[in-house]
A and B are shown apart, each in its own frame.
Chain A
Amino acid sequence: MKKEWPLWEVFVRSKNGLEHRHFGSLHAADADMALVNARDVYTRRSEGVSIWVVESKHIKASNPEHNGELFEPAQDKVYRHPTFYDLPDEIKHM
């Protein structure tokens, strides 16, 4: 038959209170196997308390060639930052 097992992306929450973070990827036939493999490959030393796996083909990624249109517009919006606003020096806690 010779079909390659699909690729999965693995996200691990290191401990409660932290978000799941991308740890890497692996191959598995289905989601259950991907979870078990992720446990063996990425959490051999208690690196996590929760694992998400998602088949890589379901991830839609932005194209770095469009980074200009996507992200540059934020660069000239300095008024989104607190330091943009001039306040008297005597004002504390603001």
Chain B
Amino acid sequence: MSEAQIKSLEEEFEARIARNEKIEPKDWMPEKYRKTHIRQMSQHAHSEIVGMLPEGNWITRAPSLRRKVALLAKVQDEAGHGLYLYSATETLGVSRDELFEQLHTGKAKYSSIFNYPTVTWADMGAIGWLVDGAAIINQVPLCGASYGPYARAMVRVCKEESFHQRQGYELILTLAKGTPEQKEMAQDALNRFWWPALMMFGPRDDDSPNTEQSMKWKLKRKTNDELRQQFIDQTVPQAELIGLTIPDPDLKWNEDKGGYDSGKINWDEFWQVVKGHGPCNKKRMNTRVAAWENGQWVRDAAIAHREKQEQRKMNKTA
């Protein structure tokens, strides 16, 4: 194809998206669109998969059967989200094994929030309430993404997320209404997860060079800072209602903007964790890689079983 031909194809492509048409797997697409989508969608899938680890940590120690079935169901949903997103990513011509390879070698990223430890039971509440809460704000606009398989996967994911957030908030609210020790535990979890949750919306708009392109392709509807503000404004009253304090001394209602002003985020910490130096980066990857490698014999046995069955069928008909 000549350069002029590609240019006109690209223009037509951008126009289709501007008209709110969806792009489907076999449609022509610019290489950059394909690559950007593989990167973002697989990063999203990896986050769902690695995101199971901090919560999986507490399943066997849930304090009641009610909490245990809820947490188990939630973690299972996250596995499902990872699977929806991996298969949507594969429609762009990358294999599942390649995607895993990228995760396991550290070539692909996942959300940094999962590199923080879950040290008490209250962290299960903080994660559902804040982490899934932030994820919902990030994900709802993606239901309108231009790439059809991504948008469809996100519709399914978003439907399931609201239970995640509600079970988390109910959990932390129960602790906040409990004994002084329980309340302290809830406050401590909020203290530790508040700032990392704010970082989930990504770098400040000034440090986020790809925003314009992502807006065009409907990978983003609002900027990082806008989404972060939305999260703060919706979460502060939820904390107040259950008597917990947001760990930000500079937090204060601003009548003029109709939202909260808030303190400075520690961006050094953010970049440290992104670069692999968070409290649990190594642990998460080791656990994940071990799970994959220890499951190899099961995957091999399943394939061997299939081949044997097929052989048996052939022998019968022969």
User: A: which residues have CB within 8 A of B?
Assistant: 1-5, 7, 24-27, 29-30, 33, 40-41, 44-45, 61, 63-65
Contact = CB atoms under 8 A, between A and B. Distances in A.
Contact of B83 (A3, A4, A5, A41): A41
Contacts of B27: 64
B302 A30 contact: yes
Contacts of A41: 80, 83-84
B305 A29 contact: yes
- B-side binding surface: helix, strand, loop or mixed? helix
B303 A24 contact: no
Contacts of B83: 26, 41
B36 interface: no
Contact of B87 (A24, A29, A65): A24
A41 B81 CA distance: 9
Interface string B212-249: 00000000000000000000000000000000000000
Q: Which of A29, A33, A41: most chain B Cβ within 10 A?
A: A29
Contacts of A27: 87, 96
Contacts of A4: 95-97
Nearest to B296: A2
B84 A24 contact: yes
B87 A33 contact: no
Contacts of B32: none
Contacts of B7: none
B309 interface: yes
A4 B80 CA distance: 19
